[in-house]
Structure 1
Amino acid sequence: MIRFFAAAIGALVFVFSNVALADDKASFQVDSERLDESVTIRVALPESYLHSTDFAYPVLLVMDGSTQFEHIAGNVNFLSTFAEIPEMIVVGVSANNRLKNFTHTEIEQFAGRSGGAGRYTEFLLNELLPQLRDEYRVAPYTAVTGHSLSGLYTTYLALHHADEIQAVISVSPSLWWDDFAILSHVEQLQDERPASRWFASMASEPGEMAEGFARLTQQLDSLPTSDTEWELHQFPDETHDTTPLIGNVTGLRSIFNGFNAVPEIEVKSLPDLQRYYQQHAVTSGYNLPMGHQQYNVYGLKAAYEGQLPWGIAILQAGVEIFPRSEILWDSLATALRMNDQIPAALEASNKAVEFARAHDSKYLSEILLQNEALN
């Protein structure tokens, strides 16, 4: 691993991508008929969204989007850069009425102001997601994350909507709501249902928060079988307010466990990678094709670990799918240059310069340096 990073230090900058906001849809309003209100939506697209015309991305819905959107979008960017998780379209959904929208039962104390989770789910599934599919290249895979009351809501989704929501993160969920009513639904995880993944966590929190998580743990441990794959995690050094950052990073890695085909120094050929993801689709319950960063990471890693033909083949496959990617073209130029294929390397580098200029790329100066050296 040290050899890989030492050798690749000049090229690793091209592995990185930034989260780019769609110019016309960075922030917009959805006028919801079901909620009878306008909801602020924020969208962050992977940089590679601009590099293809047909590649589709999974969606991550971020509850409490006005406060949780930025750090989650940044973490998705970082983790996907190294192929730990897939690149995703991150969608922040603001909550105008948390108590009503995120609770699944109405209680007397909050009559008329609680119990709206069913209607809120109709908004997400029947209004927001169809609009996102109309406007963006969205894959048939939806994940959702929430904290505190919205963590209670994502728990509700994990238990009731596995057919529409494939993965759920619940950070410090308020399981205590309505005398822990949500816990009475846990047993239905035994019922026949689509495969899904669920991560739930709790910080160092006293009283009913801790009690709810302990009871959830006990109930899940007692289930004989389930098509839902879950992981429970505790963060004893975090508080209720600080846990969303680490909770979402750990949760993202959990729900996409096994997604990285080459987590260590070993490398794979392109056919081996394709077989890996075919099998991963079977075991994980979802089929997401290799994305921009996977081609880049796996290709460069193979090249720097002595498998230049493998690396070149992986990167060439990448530019076929993402033909406008300055990052992949430059990485391909690097691998071809290492293989003493200078004319082909220069051709790839010229492509990288073309698209870097077209995208006003932050990597333009580094890409120009390699282009000058090849010339």
Structure 2
Amino acid sequence: MKRVLLILAFLLMIISCNSPEKNPQFSESQNITTKYTELKKIISIEVDDTFYVYIRVPKNYADKKDNYPVLYLLDGDIDFNMATSIVRYLQYGKEAPDLIIVGIGYGTMMDDSEQNFRKRDYTFTKIDKLEQSGGADKFLCFLSKELIPFIDKNYRTTEKRILNGYSLGGLFTIYASLKENNLFDSYIIGSPYIKDNLDSLISLAENYSDFKSKIFITVGEKEDDENFHTPIKKMFNQFKNIAADKNNIKFTEFKNGSHFTCPSEALTYGLQSVLSEN
């Protein structure tokens, strides 16, 4: 009897799998909104341009009166959603506190478009192969005089600020750490393109003998030596030389990492590093 029941069950399964295709019902499409997130357009006087600023507050922000550290992201159009997911994962593992996340963007992810001016804003000198380069000082003024005061005024923030930048954004992040060091407490610097500006950055660093900020700088194993490994390691050593506490200066090379596989790793391990007590 038991055997007969098993055979019947098997036959029913075969019949079910071979039955005519069924059409499930789908609801009407709905626009997706990300919880606890808003987008603001800020017209900068310093840069004379409009920035798209993506802001996410912690889940229980409205129910509490706590103040929160702020993570500022360059290339916010592409990095903001990535960062919110990374922070949530770290929080699941109790490796990150609640943060306010601020992504600074241009309304488009395409850096070759007429709307995205990362090449202008993230470079502090004219670079021959990059048109419109050299606007980093104005962009830094936008951060210090316009954006950060706006965030501090309208949201409950602490004095702890983290700046994350990748590639050209990494170049700007290093520049900001040396040009206006008190603006942020920690700097996450992923695969910075600093080859053309290495000497200038080292000269800026030589003005310090007691550098107190946390630095987390990375490179992918598969990135080339001339453009990335060699200049990045020289910059890392320079940060070590000027650091008040050498334990605050960290370098990581991601195994098998290429330039476009490492942004998420740089931010993940960068946050883990700069948010730690050591």
Q: TM-score, normalised by structure 2?
A: 0.77
Aligned match of 1:169 in 188, 199, 202?
Answer: 188
Moved over 4 A (4+): 107-111
Cα RMSD, aligned residues only? 2.1
Asked whether the equivalents of residues 218 and 253 of structure 2 are also in contact (C-alpha less than 8 Å), the reply is yes
Question: How many residues in Structure 1 have an aligned counterpart in Structure 2?
Answer: 233
Deviation at 1:62, TM superposition (A): 0.6
Q: Does 1:120 align with 2:139?
A: yes
Residue 122 of structure 2 is matched in structure 1 by: 102
**Residues 39, 55 of structure 1: alpha-carbon distance in 2 compared, 3 angstrom cutoff:** same
Q: Deviations over 1:61-82 (max 9, x none)?
A: 1100001111111111221343
Q: Does 1:73 align with 2:84?
A: yes
Give SS of 2:276's match. Answer: coil
Deviation at 1:254, TM superposition (A): 0.6
Aligned match of 2:44 in 22, 29, 32?
Answer: 32
Separation (CA, whole Å) in 1 of partners of 2:197 and 2:267: 26
**Residues 224, 137 of structure 1: alpha-carbon distance in 2 compared, 3 angstrom cutoff:** closer
Separation (CA, whole Å) in 2 of partners of 1:225 and 1:238: 28
Separation (CA, whole Å) in 1 of partners of 2:118 and 2:172: 10
Separation (CA, whole Å) in 1 of partners of 2:92 and 2:99: 11
AA matched with 1:64: D
Asked whether the equivalents of residues 167 and 255 of structure 1 are also in contact (C-alpha less than 8 Å), the reply is yes
Deviation at 1:159, TM superposition (A): 2.0
Output aligned runs, 1:248-287, within 5 Å: 248-258=267-277
Asked whether the equivalents of residues 127 and 196 of structure 2 are also in contact (C-alpha less than 8 Å), the reply is no
Residue 90 of structure 1 is matched in structure 2 by: 101
Aligned match of 2:55 in 32, 40, 43?
Answer: 43
Q: Does 1:150 align with 2:169?
A: yes
**Residues 234, 108 of structure 1: alpha-carbon distance in 2 compared, 3 angstrom cutoff:** closer
Separation (CA, whole Å) in 1 of partners of 2:236 and 2:198: 17
Q: Deviations over 1:259-297 (max 9, x none)?
A: xxxxxxxxxxxxxxxxxxxxxxxxx7xxxxxxxxxxxxx
AA matched with 2:36: L
Asked whether the equivalents of residues 165 and 173 of structure 2 are also in contact (C-alpha less than 8 Å), the reply is yes
**Residues 67, 109 of structure 1: alpha-carbon distance in 2 compared, 3 angstrom cutoff:** closer
Q: Does 1:182 align with 2:182?
A: no
Aligned match of 1:202 in 190, 203, 219?
Answer: 219
Residue 6 of structure 2 is matched in structure 1 by: none
AA matched with 1:82: G
Q: Deviations over 1:95-136 (max 9, x none)?
A: 53111110122346657x222111101101111111112221
Q: Does 1:21 align with 2:41?
A: no
Q: Deviations over 1:154-204 (max 9, x none)?
A: 11122222212111100000111346532332333414x5x3211000012
Higher Rg of the two aligned structures? 2
Aligned match of 2:157 in 138, 141, 144?
Answer: 138
Deviation at 1:87, TM superposition (A): 1.0
Asked whether the equivalents of residues 41 and 92 of structure 1 are also in contact (C-alpha less than 8 Å), the reply is yes
Asked whether the equivalents of residues 217 and 232 of structure 1 are also in contact (C-alpha less than 8 Å), the reply is yes
AA matched with 1:210: H
Identity of aligned residues (%): 26
Separation (CA, whole Å) in 1 of partners of 2:45 and 2:160: 25
Runs of 5+ consecutive residues of structure 1 not aligned to the other structure: 1-18, 259-283, 285-375
Asked whether the equivalents of residues 58 and 139 of structure 1 are also in contact (C-alpha less than 8 Å), the reply is yes
**Residues 255, 31 of structure 1: alpha-carbon distance in 2 compared, 3 angstrom cutoff:** same
Q: TM-score, normalised by structure 1?
A: 0.58
Runs of 5+ consecutive residues of structure 2 not aligned to the other structure: 1-33, 107-115
AA matched with 2:213: S
**Residues 225, 154 of structure 1: alpha-carbon distance in 2 compared, 3 angstrom cutoff:** closer
